[in-house]
Amino acid sequence: MKKDVLISIKGIQSADGESDTVELTTLGSFYRHNNSYYICYEESEITGMNGYKTLLKVDDQKRVTMTRSGISKQQLIIEKGTRHQCSYDLGFDFLTIGILGNDIVSNLTDNGGTLNFKYSLDVNTALSSENEVYINIEECKN
């Protein structure tokens, strides 16, 4: 059953010795289907993805699939110990990027919980950035 939830997200991107942190707290939905958890929310100006909807599919401790839809579509697959090539739609062109999942820790239950994952992003096999994402899901109080 879909639940209305409060989603707190902290993303840290490190590249060339510098890091950038983005934090977002938003309302969204959360549910479980076929042993996977789904987190859905609208992006905002804070993330630079205003007008996009993000869906995270969490398959236990091994895979997170992030799908964004809006002006263009984007999908990233983060799987621990595996490098995936993903197509990233820039709206005017496509970019093929590599995603290497470094760590996934899911403490999600049907009532919410936490999800943390880390991945490396490369463009044309050259390291572009190291990324960490921390997500907290809480049921909305009525």
Q: What is the CATH number of the domain that holds 79?
A: 2.40.128.20
pLDDT digits (tens, 9 = 90+) for 29-79: 999 999 999 999 987 666 556 678 999 999 977 899 999 887 767 888 999
Range of the domain at 106: 3-139
Average predicted confidence (pLDDT) for the chain: 88
What is the model's pLDDT at position 86?
83
10 Å CB burial of residue 99 (0-12, 13-18, 19+) is buried
Judge if pTM exceeds 0.85.
yes
Number of domains in the chain: 1
Single-letter amino acid, residue 116: N
CA angle 31, 35, 40 (to 5 degrees): 30
